[in-house]
Each structure stands twice: as C-alpha cells, then as structure tokens.
A and B are shown apart, each in its own frame.
Chain A
C-alpha cells in the first residue's frame, strides 16, 4: 500500500514519502521481533543487545516519526536537556541501590 508521491516543501524542508515511513515502521517491527527472539533464545550478551536494540528503536521513532532529525536543533536541545537528566537520574538511582557495596535496601528474592 505504499504511495510513491513526491515531497511537498513544508517549513523549509522536504517531507519523506509515505513509503519511507512504511519502511521505518517495518524496521521497527523487525527490531521488536528480534528483541523478543533474543528474550526466548537468551544468547550471551542478551541484555546489552536488548538495550541497544531498544535504543535504536527509540532514536528511530524520535528522529523519523517525530521528525527531529530534520527539524531545528532547538527542538533537539530542549528535548535532549530533559532526556539527559532523566537518563542520569535513572542511572544514578540504579547505581546507588544496586551497585553500591553498602546497599541501603536489603534485596530479597
């Protein structure tokens, strides 16, 4: 069902065709399938691989579906500011709770 239409100029940059978006959607579906396959197969390095694949999906949705790759860096700036702090916070708390020699919370189970 892909349409081979040509881009209209909008806000100064060309739009991808619907076909391009279908391709991105396809890649996302495939990546998800790979993730689930990894989950069941459980090869060595499963967890880092899962994280990497998810990161790729994350970046693709942001970059292409949300168009951030082609838009002004200002949008990237205000978004990345929040994202960076969020990643920092999650990492810091996980380290403080799960990777400190003196863990404040006894882990059960």
Chain B
C-alpha cells in the first residue's frame, strides 16, 4: 500500500560508509563529508553510525565464533592454543553483547523513537553523540588488546579470582575491566537521554499509552540501563582497584569474597539480558501488527508485561549462581522469581500470536524474521525455564545446554528481531526497499544455519560437554553435534554476508519508496523517506494509538507532516566537543592501565576542559557568530 509523497528530487541518502555523502532530499542540503559526520548531533545520523559500527563488530565477533567452531570441529584438536581459545570466547561474548546487541538496539532507539513520538531530535543531542563516540572508542580500546596479544581471556562474566592479578597478571583483564567501564558510561548517558526524550518530547496528543510499543520498550530498557549499568560500573571499579591498587574486594586470603563479584555482576547481568531482549520485542510489536493489518492485541497488557519484566528482572540474578553454594533458602527464592518472570514473557508471545490470528498476514522478510523470533525465542525460553529449576541447573550449568539456551534467545530472539527491524525501517532511513529476494535468501539461510549451529548443543550439553573449554575428549561422543554446529556456523556466516550485500546493493539501487510503503500506523511513516533533518515541519497532533490507520486523523497529520515549511525549524548546530570529550574519557580510563595513580588525572584534566567548553557552547549560535561548528561563541551567550 504505497502512499503518495513528495517526490525526492535530490539523490537518496546513502546509508553505509563515511566520506562523501549525497545530501538529504527535499531541495535543501544537509552538510556532507566526514567532518559533518564527526560533528553531527542529529539522532538519525548517530543512529546510522551506531548501526554500521555494530555491523563491523558483528563481523569481528562472528569471526571469533567461527574460529571457536573450527577448533571444536573434532575432539582433541589444537588449531589454536588453549590460551588463544580463552581469548576467543571471551571476546566473542563481550563483543556480541556490548559491541553488537546493545548498540544495534541503540541504533534503532536513536533513529526511530524521536520519529515515533513526533519529536525533532532527542532531548540532549550532544550527549547522544557523546554516547556514540564513547562506544566507538571503548570498542576500539577493547579490540586493541588483540594487537598486543593480550585480549581478555576471563570469559564475558569475568569471575574472581580468575580476574585477579594473582591468576591473571597480564594486560588481558586490564583491557576487559577498563574497556567495559568506558562502555558503561555510554549506556548510562544514553538511558538518561531516552528517558528524558520519551517523557518530554512527545507530540501533542501522544499520551504514554498511545506510544508505539517499540517506544515503550525503549522506555523500559532505558530505565534498566540507568539502574543496572551503575552496578557493573562499581563492580568493575572494585575489580580495577583490586588489580591496580591492591585492595581486597575479591581476594579471599584477605577476607574478601570472590562470590561477591558474582552477585554484583549478575545483579547487573540479569537486567542486562532484558536490556538486550526488550528492544527486539519492541521491534516485532510494531512489525507484526503492520503485516497482520491489525493493531497489537492487548496493547496495555503488552506494556505492563514489559514493565513487569523489567521490574522482576531485578529479582532473579542468583539463578546464575545455583552452583555457587548460596544455600537452599536463597536458591529457592531465586527459583521462584525466575519461574515467575516467565509469565509476563510468555504473555507477550500470546499477544503476538493473537495479533496475527485473523489478520491479513503479509509474509515479507521483515515479518518472517519477526515470526522467527516468536518461535525461536519460545524454544530458548523453554530451556530457560528448565534452568530455573536449581536441581536441574546443577547438571546444566556451564554445559553446552546453557550455550544453546542463550543463543536461542539472543540470536534466535534478539538478532532476528534486529533483522526484522532493519527490513522494516530501511525504507524510512534510505527511501528504498531492501531487496526481498536477497532478503528471502538471508532469512532462510539464517534459519537453517542458526538451528544447525545451536540445536545440537542441547545434546552435546546433555552429554556433558562443558563450555569454555578448548577441546573435548572423543570418549564424550559429542563429535557429531560439534560438526553440525560448525557447519551451521559457517552457513550463518554466509547468511550475514548476504545481509550485508543486500544492505549495500539496496542502498544504491533498491526500489524507491515514499513515506509509508507498508501502510503502517505510527508517526514515523507520516514523514518523507528519508526524513528531513528536522523530521517534522510542524509537530503533528495525535489522537489514537494507530494514528495513520484512522482516515481523518491521518489526513490531519499528513497535512502537517508532508508539507514543506516556510521557515525551517531551528536545529542545534553540530559540535566537535562530543568526540573530544569521548576521547578524554577513553584516555582517562586507558591511562589507569599504567598503574601510576596520578597519570589518569591528566586524562581527567582534559576531560574537565572538554566539559567546560561543552557547557559554555551555545548549540543555537548562528553561523556568523562563531569560528565554525561547535566553536564557543564570543558573543554574550544567552545562557552560561
């Protein structure tokens, strides 16, 4: 169901790549070139940067995975050394969670949420840019460890005392501790930004219970981000102090308790997995109604279930610690809460299915991936409920059964949700469709490759193959399962290449489209594709949950959103303080690695300088007044 829109007369925006860019369509130009991307504070550009960067890290994490799979193809191999293997699975997990899954979700938050609520940008555009640059620099810092042969090797959970200087004296754990600390800053700032944006910048009539479910899930995830990330930030600080300044937080010999690390890590870690999954749930909660031509079934229930998941998610963390000797009373409590949290999660599954029931289903790639999430996440959820029983978990813990579980929910669930979102919103970002033929190849190779990789792991886990071990005995009789997993892994690699190729070719030659190619209901589909840099010429007024599915409402909205304004809305200037401040923050933490207590203070000084310049910068200074984008204005600033 295509919509008539203003015909873009300029070149379409190229999604990938740095360097020369075509200008925005619509007649007026947005700056192009590398510098404009470095200084951008536009949520759409920042969203694109997040997405492309996460793709690069997806490739890196994927290669790490394939190396693991090659090593595990047959028993008792030594394709790589045990030490390298430890680095491989540590970096694979750390990369995929912190450098791929979270940033990819943030890419969607960035691009889509302001459009869905009828806003021109997020509440704090420069802070938004800062979050991105800190992510990029943190990710680079973490991966520089490979170049010095000291990649983290302590698994993505970094248990004490393996991370102590006694057992891990090299730089490996230093990179891990400091790298993750840097990344945490990015997430917290992003969370504050999106909470403020969603509370403050909704268009007239956009009550909270009228927001698209994707925005709701963003809202809940943002609360999880600002509450859970500080916990791991402190845990990492404590570990850093143990490593650099000889404290005793996790050193048993001095009265510390390594299990405390587990508590602190998982108090963060469990909300973290909801941080990972809720955005994907949000994506398909928008996609499925669109391609069922029906509103989401039970909107309030979907919202409250999400809130409940976020809240109860704080009470389940020790189900990761059933083998750590907490005792039966503690264990029982966490068994109960873990089983309880399955309820709101399951409810959502029913809501999605009920949405499809009786709808006019369109099985395009976006929808296929969304349905794929529903099915595969259910499988992962079932194995999760099995783990919830502490006695059963005693057998499953640290086996490949767990690896199967979380890959079903993370890849089968989250990654498929992300893919669905890409196929769904690519037309909005670029003004072109992603190829459906290539999309079909992408989807089916993903489905086959994924299940081939991870389903056998339920079996190898049950037969006793432990995780995080670089090889296994032939007597374990799990060779067949491992071979299947390895073949599956390479098929997944191919499917990802197909995806990247589809992105590349469609951005250049994909079929062009207008503002609402899917005939969807929410506000982002009421503006041109790609949007003007100011998003909305005037803010529309919203009267329902599906604004574009009510004829009169759609008419009044599009009368506002599809016209060219006489005067373009004023948008904040670009700024180079975000990237500079990000480098200051990264440098401060990186300098902790020297072990000399006053050296990071140099970085801190530079950071403070950048904060001051930022604070005194006027984002709305007119071009004539300043030396260039982002330069502090010499005129009397209206505000300090």
Contacts and interface: CB of A to CB of B under 8 A. Distances in A.
A74 interface: yes
A81 interface: yes
Interface in A54-109: 74, 78, 81-82, 85, 88-89, 93, 96, 100-102, 104-105, 108
Majority-rule SS of B interface residues: helix
Given A74-B199, A104-B259, A105-B257, A82 B227 contact: yes
Contact of A81 (B223, B259, B263, B326): B223
B330 interface: yes
Majority-rule SS of A interface residues: helix
Given A74-B199, A81-B223, A81-B227, A100 B329 contact: yes
B276 interface: no
Contacts of B315: 88
B255 interface: yes
Interface string B420-440: 000000000000000000000
A15 B315 CA distance: 40
Given A101-B327, A104-B326, A96 B263 contact: yes
Contacts of B329: 100-102
B231 interface: yes
A2 B354 CA distance: 66
B226 interface: yes
Interface string B212-247: 000000000001001100010000000000000000
B267 interface: yes
B227 A100 contact: no
A93 B263 contact: yes
B330 A89 contact: no
A72 to B, nearest CB: 10
Nearest to A102: B327
Given A96-B263, A101-B327, A102-B327, A89 B199 contact: no
B195 A78 contact: yes
A104 B227 contact: no
A30 B199 CA distance: 39
Contacts of A81: 223, 227
A100 B330 contact: yes
A81 B140 CA distance: 33
Nearest to B195: A78
Contacts of A89: 231, 267, 314
A105 B255 CA distance: 8
Interface residues of B, number: 21
Contacts of A108: 255
Contacts of B263: 93, 96
B325 interface: yes
A101 B227 CA distance: 30
Contacts of A100: 326-327, 329-330
Contacts of B226: 82
Contacts of A82: 226-227
A102 B227 contact: no
Nearest to A74: B199
B325 A104 contact: yes
Interface string A10-50: 00000000000000000000000000000000000000000
Given A74-B199, A82-B227, A108-B255, A88 B314 contact: yes
Nearest to A89: B267
Interface string B493-518: 00000000000000000000000000
A105 B256 CA distance: 8
Nearest to A96: B330
A66 B255 CA distance: 40
A81 B224 CA distance: 10
Interface string B592-624: 000000000000000000000000000000000
Contacts of A104: 257, 259, 324-327
Contact of A102 (B223, B257, B259, B326): B326
B250 to A, nearest CB: 12
B231 A96 contact: no
B464 to A, nearest CB: 27
Contacts of B327: 100-102, 104
A96 B326 contact: yes
Contacts of B324: 104
Nearest to A85: B227
A93 B231 CA distance: 13
15 contacts: A78-B199, A85-B227, A88-B314, A89-B314, A96-B263, A96-B318, A100-B329, A102-B325, A102-B327, A102-B329, A102-B330, A104-B257, A104-B259, A104-B324, A104-B326
Closest 9 A-B residue pairs measured CB to CB? A102-B327, A105-B257, A85-B227, A104-B259, A82-B227, A100-B327, A85-B314, A100-B330, A96-B330
Interface of B: 195, 199, 223, 226-227, 231, 255, 257, 259, 263, 267, 314-315, 318, 324-330
Interface of A: 74, 78, 81-82, 85, 88-89, 93, 96, 100-102, 104-105, 108
Given A82-B226, A89-B314, A104-B326, 6 more contacts: A78-B195, A81-B227, A88-B314, A100-B330, A104-B324, A105-B259
